[in-house]
Amino acid sequence: MKPLSGIKVLELARILAGPWAGQVLADLGAEVIKVERPGEGDDTRGWGPPFVHDTDGSVWGAAYFHATNRGKSSVCLDMATPEGQGAIKRLVSDADVVIENFKVGGLKKYGLDYDSLKAINPRLVYVSITGFGQDGPYAHRAGYDYIIQGLSGLMDITGEPHREPQKVGVAVVDLFTGVYASTAILAALRQRDMTGEGSHIDMALMDCAVAMLANQAMNYLTSGISPSRLGNAHPNIAPYQVFQVKDGHVIVAVGNDHQFRRFCQVLEADYVAENPTWQTNAGRVASRVQLEAALQPLMMMHTRAELLAKLEAAGVPAGPINRIGDVFNDPQVIHRGMRLELGAVSGVASPIVINGARMVADGPSPKLGEGKAEWHD
């Protein structure tokens, strides 16, 4: 039995952050019922190509949709109608969790806001995911991952120093918000076990993006200096970056002074390790440009495979830069079972393993309206 068996979740959410939280819960064993617009469903069903096809050749929605809706049921309800509202309230009556990502106050006119549903089910854990939270000067704004990557400062520390700021290659703020939301849901369910009452969880993409700044935020708060883009270098450690070799690139992640000395030994460059300026991490960070200039010609004397083998033998953290196609052919990824085959749908497994069992929902994403007949209007 999975940890969340018996937990019922009603997902009034679409796109990514809310559905990602729902998928985490589904992988952990919760029953997740996704409420979708009749005829259209979640916007991401059409966010292709590429599209997933069923065994009969029919289109089963975009790959994007399948990335975040595994293990759920689908019910088509028009919440703008009394019939749809009534059906949702019936589902809420014995639900444990509701996840919604409408604009602040957007569900109140339908009688589907927290206060209205709490009156039906006082034990309900109700999660509101918005761009900026339930209050504040930006609360009325719509939340888009891309915009918030820029607004939060994340893009200003991503990319090459003398080129334009870059977003991360996936909607990382949405994903982090979904993970934070699922953590908050589990905490609220635990609290309910103790108090008997539910909660209203207020999750904001902007809050999560600022929290994600982690050490870069602390660098600013400690020094008063805004961090700048360093490309593939690390603001607090050196050498911790990408280097070019004869036939490509490698990542070297030297985490301490001992590793640095071993790194230099592999490169047959003890004179670099013995330079007084570079014997401590602080000195290497302060003169990272000069250090890179000394190391890069030495790196070019090696092929990728040869150098990575030597660094691994020496206990120096290093690795290749794979394409996504390489990732799913990697022996470690294959061994860990990170590629799923759920009927006609390929997918990526949950990273959660409990007592040796990977927490993955039993079925693929639902077809539109593929839920129990009694759930409909």
Measured from the Cβ of residue 215, the count of other Cβ atoms closer than 10 Å reads: 12
Task: Using DSSP, state whether 229 is helix, strand or coil.
Answer: coil
**109 contacts: CB under 8 Å, gap ≥ 6:** none
Is the separation of the CB atoms in 307 and 250 below 8 Å? yes
Mean residue pLDDT of the chain comes to: 96
| Alpha helix ranges (H) inside 156-268 | 172-195, 205-211, 214-223, 257-266
Check residue 373 and give its pLDDT. Answer: 62
Report pLDDT digits (tens) over 19-38. Answer: 999 999 999 999 999 999 99
What digits encode the pLDDT tens for the residues 148-157? 999 999 999 9
**Do residues 211 and 226 make contact, with C-beta atoms less than 8 angstroms apart?**
no
| pLDDT(343) > 90 | no
51-53 and 59-62 beta bridge pairing: antiparallel
> Which amino acid appears at position 167 of this protein?
K
Encode pLDDT of 72-131 as tens digits: 999 999 999 999 999 999 999 999 999 999 999 999 999 999 999 999 999 999 999 999
pLDDT classification of 141: cutoffs 50, 70, 90: very high
Structure tokens at 34: 């996704």
Q: What's the average model confidence in pLDDT over 342-350?
A: 92
174 is catalytic: yes
Res 360: pLDDT: 96
pLDDT at 108: 96
pTM attached to this predicted model: 0.94
Mean pLDDT of 9-18: 97
The token pair that represents 114 in the structure block: 């927290």
Q: Tell whether the model's pLDDT for residue 173 goes beyond 70.
A: yes
Among residues 145, 174, 207, 247, which one is catalytic?
174
pLDDT for the residue numbered 133: 98
At 225, list the tokens: 């200096």
- Residue 25 burial (CB count, 10 A): 27
* pLDDT-above-70 percentage for the chain: 99
- What is the C-alpha to C-alpha distance for residues 326 and 347, in angstroms, rounded to an integer? 16
